[in-house]
Amino acid sequence: MNLGDLQLLEDSSWRVLLSAVVAVVLALVVHRVGAVVIWRITRGLPVAGMVARRCWRPSRVALPLIALQAVWQAAPDTLALISQVRHGNALLLLATLTWLALRAIDGVAQGIISQHSVEVEDNLNARRIHTQTRLLARTAGFMVLVAGLSLMLMTFPGARQLGASLLASAGVIGIVAGIAARPVFSNLIAGLQIALAQPLRIDDVLIVQGEWGRVEEITGTYVVLKIWDERRLVIPLQWFIENPFQNWTRNSAQIIGTVFVWVDYRMPLEPLRQAARQACEAAAEWDKRLCLLQVVEAGERSMQLRVLVTSGNSSLNWDLRCKVREALVDFMQREYPQFLPLMRAEVTGGVERPQGAGPTGQLPPHA
């Protein structure tokens, strides 16, 4: 290479660098102007506005990288290290575009969730939308992440086959049922099933393995159940597909609770019914649907009473049941203490035998 060629190559390098600087500056100006215009257009649109805010940072990086990639592709191949610069810029661009897609998905999810508050009395539809949106957003984010990683690997000649295989796997996740045997993908498919079929939602009240709690969080792999005593039960998503569980708020949060009381057979029932009714009417937790006292069992020593009471949700019903139970016990202690459950015995000729026994002290056959 003679002196003229070196001079020409040096001039080309300076022109390429100058073009790169100008391209970056123009890209930042375009981003700034475009961001202002988009924010004004989406000001009254919750979902689009949230997407615009979430995508501001990654787009600020992506536009200069796109401009630089155009400059590097137009540069002559004789420049030193130009192939390495093109490859590095392409990797950064793919990573930034993946980041941009993830932020856009998150913006859509947050925009939808913000329009449906769960801080209302009837939040069944809002909880359904929250659950579906979060699970679908996490699934879409996982797919985008796998696709981005695959495309980055495919830029390396030695890893192109691995990248193609990984990208093919990402497209097969939702189609091939056999891939669900793998733990990660099984939870992913379980998340899609839960999002579409809705057996449980955010803030649902569940009974899982004898534990009572509310669904606090649903991730892409597990569900966090907040137990009433502030503990957290972490359960894999696949468990809810394969095992039965109780959902107390599947269609409505309203619930019927029971209060059991044991009393003597001589206890009159009408005063207890009135006391139960007064206890329900005095409790703010009662929703005025049902307050019913019934005899549900007649044992050999006492009878069992059941009081059915209703509330708007399970937490209120628990407090209502406690209040009714305390009111009935207090009423009997004050008004009818002699009719609390007793162990009767009959003394005949100095020999104590249970009431109802024969002369020999033996119980009759029908007893």
| 356 three-class SS | coil
Q: Given a cut of 60, is residue 138 above it in pLDDT? A: yes
Give, in degrees to the nearest 5, the angle at Cα 334 between 330 and 338. Answer: 110
What is the rounded distance in angstroms from the CA atom of residue 3 to the CA atom of residue 22?
A: 29
User: For the segment 35-72, what is each residue's pLDDT rounded down to a tens digit?
Assistant: 888 888 888 888 888 888 888 899 999 898 888 888 88
**Domain 199-247, architecture per CATH:** Roll (2.30)
Q: Count Cβ atoms within 10 A of the Cβ of residue 138 and give its class: 0-12 exposed, 13-18 middle, 19 or more buried.
A: buried
The pair of structure tokens assigned to 38 is: 């988009």
Determine the pLDDT at residue 254: 82
What is the rounded distance in angstroms from the CA atom of residue 367 to the CA atom of residue 355?
A: 11
The rounded percent of the chain whose pLDDT value lies above 90 is 17
pTM of the predicted structure, to 2 decimals: 0.53
What is the rounded distance in angstroms from the CA atom of residue 28 to the CA atom of residue 97?
A: 16
- For 139-147, the CB contacts below 8 A with 24+ separation are 139/188, 139/191, 139/192, 139/195, 139/220, 140/105, 141/102, 141/105, 141/106, 142/188, 142/220, 143/170, 143/173, 144/98, 144/101, 144/102, 144/105, 145/98, 145/102, 146/170, 147/98
Question: Within 10 A of 298 (CB to CB), how many other CB atoms are there?
Answer: 9
pLDDT band for position 330 (cuts 50, 70, 90):
very high
Determine the pLDDT at residue 324: 94
What is the rounded distance in angstroms from the CA atom of residue 328 to the CA atom of residue 350?
A: 38
Give the alpha-carbon dihedral of 220, 223, 226, 231, to 10 degrees: -100
Domain locations along the chain? 12-115, 199-247, 255-339
Cβ–Cβ under 8 Å, residues 289 and 281:
no
Q: Given a cut of 80, is residue 182 above it in pLDDT? A: no
Average pLDDT over residues 162-187: 53
User: For the segment 86-115, what is each residue's pLDDT rounded down to a tens digit?
Assistant: 888 888 989 999 999 999 999 888 888 888
pLDDT band for position 75 (cuts 50, 70, 90):
confident
Q: What are phi and psi of 261, to 5 degrees?
A: -140, 135
Residues ≥6 apart with Cβ < 8 Å to 67: 23, 24, 26, 27
DSSP notation for 118-158 = S-SS--HHHHHHHHHHHHHHHHHHHHHHHHHHHHHHHTSGG
User: For the segment 285-316, what is each residue's pLDDT rounded down to a tens digit?
Assistant: 898 889 999 999 988 888 999 999 999 888 88
Pick 353 or 241 by higher pLDDT: 241
Determine the pLDDT at residue 266: 87
Mean pLDDT check: name the lowest of 124-128, 281-285, 286-290, 321-325: 124-128
Mean pLDDT check: name the lowest of 11-20, 39-48, 118-127, 208-217: 118-127
The pair of structure tokens assigned to 292 is: 């019913």
Q: Which among 300, 294, 202 is positioned nearest to 256, based on CA atoms? A: 294
Pick 182 or 249 by higher pLDDT: 249
Average pLDDT over residues 321-343: 88
Determine the pLDDT at residue 246: 87
What is the rounded distance in angstroms from the CA atom of residue 289 to the CA atom of residue 309?
A: 8
- Out of 5-19, 121-135, 155-169, 340-354, the most confident range is 121-135
CATH of 255-339, one of 3.30.465.10, 3.75.10.20, 3.30.70.100, 3.40.50.300: 3.30.70.100
What is the rounded distance in angstroms from the CA atom of residue 10 to the CA atom of residue 218?
A: 58
